[in-house]
A = this chain, B = another copy of it.
């Protein structure tokens, strides 16, 4: 069975897990602490990033965008109206643009620093950079959330799904990212009712269930985290 190296608080890992679940794939999950720079893990992915997908022939695919393109080419293409990337090249470009937005831009501006400061640093040793969160980083990252939520609300308000009429990688990427931030109670949903409606729909999909049941050491999720009707 293929193995997915992941971390529960990695938005990119959650994105790939959602794709695999939507396509009905069985994979073994192996939790990786990316700050440990484990030698065997670096041999799989010299960049040291998550997720990494290792297929039955022990070939490694590194990173969310590479795994998602591979899954589209080898499986999505057969899924007809359940395919998570479009047929049309320009529509594919729009889905990829939004997927990048949430897994790279929002990741850099908001998700990565907040997860690192609030969750990873609790588990890191002081040699690894562990310790109390840096309040300046928390403040800056939180200030960036509002802009991203405004954009998400605009997308959710003007389209059925984020990239158009059908569920796509763009929705799974955004929902993966939002679910990590929501776990930590960082989202003010009352300010973003259209984004909330869209997220409620995503969160109710069977593919989401395993994510909502997961807990990380040291940080309890916000009370509405697993609530489908929050």
Q: Establish whether residues B47 and A66, one from each chain, have CB atoms under 8 Å apart when the complex forms.
A: no
In the complex, chain B residues whose CB is within 8 Å of the CB of A74? 89
Asked, given contacts A70-B89, A89-B70, whether A96 binds B65 with beta carbons under 8 Å apart, the answer is: yes
How many copies, total?
2
In the complex, chain B residues whose CB is within 8 Å of the CB of A59? 90
**Interface size class for chain A?**
20 to 34
| Distance (whole angstroms) from the CB of A178 to the closest CB of chain B | 18
In the complex, chain B residues whose CB is within 8 Å of the CB of A47? 100-101, 105
Instruction: Please report A residues at the B interface, Cβ cutoff 8 Å.
Output: 46-47, 59, 61-63, 65-66, 69-70, 73-74, 89-90, 92-93, 96-97, 100-101, 104-105, 151
A-B contact pairs, 8 of them (CB 8 A): A47-B101, A59-B90, A62-B97, A63-B100, A69-B69, A69-B93, A69-B96, A70-B90
